[in-house]
Structure 1
């Protein structure tokens, strides 16, 4: 039996980069547990993208591969955050099927250019040719090469005062698609560890947003809570991460336990079910 529908590995798209501002920001989370089941779960809910975080987790190359496989065929765009700026690590993430990479601690245009070059095949860049999984296991190497430079997403992280000062130059680099603000490290660099609000942080966000807009690039940011995520949406950020799976699970557990503990102190109203409603109507002689 044959089908005209191509295998997910042969369906190449740049949905994350093409997202229009009128649709609202692309929403995603970071994955830090290196768990392929949780990655697969993300592909079943309305997340636009996820970051497989190889910088801040014990995730190995094999873990990243399995998580990418778990996300195949979903509408959730997988981005790999490499541990540091390294040509080989960027190439590897793309070769095994990442839609793009996030490169941490990019402080100047020179580093941004190196990241962009590693994401692009010649003549636009210097990426080596070994797209084993990305080409559908060599099913369509010419097809992959024809569109890879257009669809691959290169995100560079703005995480220091130096990077903010160089934001305009970084945004001007050809091949950089997104300036993504890492707010925790940025707060440390600005001399206010753990404090993610205030005039200095506000000025940094405004500067990065302006630089991205001036050069037609996307602006992304990590939100440390729903209030900040809402604020960043209103400010016009295109790509917003609103947590990671560990923090989201912890928050859900705390909320669930608190709700149940409250029922012990003051009985909760009975839970109504469809079966209970039917039985009640039958007892009253109604259908």
Structure 2
């Protein structure tokens, strides 16, 4: 089974550098790996992916030797472990509000004794059964990441119990949904957002798991790293296109002011 770069860095108490992929972009895994990222957060919660296209893009992560963490809105056990069988390094699951939610995800995605994931072993994550399945369940449990998103006041209230759930590897704050439900602006200087972030950081530290969130600047990255964040997301295909086209348009305007 392919070793997880993110897992290795977490064991070394080092940050995991994550970029987001919103749309099928064949070149992104290779370019992200060369740019020094450890993982791509591939978003299928807010974007529609054809299943075959999704499998192909996950395979490109293996070719580039970079982790693929799929954010999925599904809670269906078979759908979740199909993503892992297809080669995803881990799953990021939105709206994990209770310890019961977290435990259900562990049951769906971990092999015994942690969970009840179904065993096959004939897919990419087990090298298509080339070496059998003797070590496969233990390796899958050891190398797969399961990240619970904290996005509601209920989740913040239950974050200690969520973090304490065996089989949960990390907590990841969803700032847009959290600020919306807290009734405050999406501003990390808002007292309610600071309190939520501190609660997540404290729970992760207490139970020895990772936590993180998107960070839009070097200052934000430094600030959350100082609080112990290890799952640090910065950059995306959407943002690169947005900024790149704005810069390109400005360059054209400056060179062709009368056109």
TM-score in same-fold range (> 0.5): yes
Select 2:227's aligned residue among 235, 242, 246. 235
RMSD over equivalenced CA pairs, Å: 2.2
CA distance in 1, matches of 2:223, 2:255: 34
Moved more, 15-24 or 160-169: 15-24
Which structure carries more relative contact order (alpha carbon 8 Å, separation 6+)? 2
* 1:139 paired to 2:159: no
Q: Does 1:214 align with 2:179?
A: no
**Displacement of 1:135:** 1.0
Equivalent residue of 1:102, what SS?
Answer: strand
2:41 aligns to what?
51
Contact 2:184 2:190 in 1 (8 A): no
Bigger-Rg structure (1/2): 1
- CA offsets, 1:135-188, max 9 Å, x none? 111112223223111111111100111101111000000000001111111111
Bigger shift: residues 154-163 or 123-132 = 123-132
Distance 1:249 1:171, change over 3 A: same
Question: Residues 39 and 142 (structure 1 numbering): CA distance in 2 closer, same or farther, change over 3 Å?
Answer: same
User: What displacement does 1:41 show?
Assistant: 3.1
The answer as to whether partners of 1:48 and 1:77 remain within 8 angstroms in 2 is: yes
Deviates more, 1:128-137 or 1:227-236: 227-236
Aligned to 1:43, the other structure's residue is in SS state helix
- What residue in structure 1 maps to residue 26 of structure 2? 36
Q: How do 1:92-107 and structure 2 match up within 5 A? A: 92-107=82-97
For 2:102 and 2:73, how far apart are their aligned partners in 1?
A: 15
The answer on 1:79 being equivalent to 2:65 is no
- State the Cα deviation string for residues 20-72 of structure 1 (Å, max 9, x = none): 59775211111111233333433333111111111111113222211111111
2:242 match: 250
Cα drift, residue 255 of structure 1: 2.9
1:62 aligns with 2:48: no
- Aligned pair count reads 255
**Of 17, 30, 33, which aligns to 1:27?**
17
The question of whether the paired residues in 1 share the 8 Å contact of 2:58 and 2:88 is answered with: yes
Matched, 1:129 2:119: yes
For 1:191 and 1:174, the matched residues in 2 are separated by 32
C-alpha distance in 2 between matches for 1:163 and 1:30: 23
> 1-side partners of 2:89 and 2:206: how far apart?
25
> Gaps spanning 5+ residues in structure 2: where?
none
Please say if residues 82 and 89 of structure 1, whose CA atoms lie closer than 8 Å, have aligned partners that are also in contact. Answer: no
Shift of 1:196: 4.4
